[in-house]
Amino acid sequence: MLYLILLFILGLGALYLGADWLVRGASAIALRLGIRPMVIGLTIVAVGTSMPELLLNVVAVLDGQDALAIGNIVGSNIANIALILGITALLLPLTVEPEALKKEYPMMLGITLLFWFLASNGRIGRIDGIILVACLFAFMAYILIANRRSSAPPVDLPLEEEKEGAVGDTLIARLRSSTWGRVAYVVFGMVMLAIGADLLVDSAVGMADILGIHPGVIGLTALAVGTSLPELAASLVSALRGESDLSVGNVLGSNMLNIMFVVGLVALIQPMTIDPDALRLHFPIMVGFTLLLFPLAWTHQRINRYEGGLLLSGFVAYFAYLLVPYF
């Protein structure tokens, strides 16, 4: 157990570093190219923080653990809204772009409902995977077109402010202020996020086994929370750096990409069977939290501490419902 706790702590450290590097590099690229931070959150950051889900779900379905894979996606999307936005808003109220509520939020709701509809026959097959991947390409095209119409003037800022008296003409300073330096931050950030998530999930699953928790709930609990921790770390770092629109964009984009990117690609590799309990209970809860997000964010275009507490309380209640029977 001590070894697993150590892995958990190491995973948290890797997640924090990865999130910081990813947000730092993505924000710098956005400024350099004149791209809105919301767009970066919906694409680069969201793809990077969805990679743990993709890797875990490919392994799960190839091992015949369909329930684990589906539980991971459904649980992650619930955690992204209720846990991540809840905790982040409790620490620092989040500003929500009106544009996101008018455009990106309806897309997330539509994709979530489409996922539920495709799964309603008890199976996500290759045709369903093609539909979801097609939606992914359409979404990326929309983001690129929308950014061209509303792009900001490019701003060339270094990743870190140079201190007074520091020697600026150094290799490190040049790398930090170069385009490749910014890209390196994003790439290394994604790598650290994947490593951190893997350590956390391995340790959480190991501790769940020791405590005697049934494997059926691991996907909805340990794996869902573990693979959502990159989103939590990235959202917290974004909010603390004064970029709360990036926090919200990360969650919206991550929920869509979990379905279009992760479920779509995994279904193309190996069709998945949906557990009846998931369709009866967990899918409706996922849709319910998605619907709840709109009225909370619409009021004054922000999610305040009270609303963050409401989301977090809902997640704790759901989590307790899943775990209490095993204690």
In the chain, domain spans: 42-151+199-326
- The torsion angles phi and psi of 302, rounded to 5 degrees, stand at -155, 155
- The torsion angles phi and psi of 281, rounded to 5 degrees, stand at -120, -55
From CA 311, how far away is CA 295, in angstroms rounded?
A: 12
Query: Which of 109, 107, 105 is closest to 97 using CA atoms?
Result: 105
CATH of domain 42-151+199-326: 1.20.1420.30
Q: Which amino acid is at 254?
A: S
Exposure on the CB side of residue 217, measured as CA atoms within 13 A:
18
Angle between helices 179-211 and 224-240 (to 10 degrees): 140
153: left (phi over 0), alpha (psi -120 to 50) or beta: beta
pLDDT values of the chain reduced to their tens digit, one per residue, 327 residues: 788 889 888 887 887 788 778 777 877 777 777 776 667 666 666 676 677 777 778 877 887 888 888 998 999 999 999 999 999 999 888 888 887 788 889 999 999 999 999 999 999 999 999 999 999 999 888 877 776 665 555 545 455 444 444 444 454 455 455 677 778 888 888 788 778 777 877 787 787 778 787 666 777 887 788 777 777 877 888 778 777 667 787 788 889 999 999 999 999 999 999 989 899 999 999 999 999 999 988 888 889 999 999 999 999 999 999 988 876
Query: Which of 300, 235, 242 is closest to 85 using CA atoms?
Result: 235
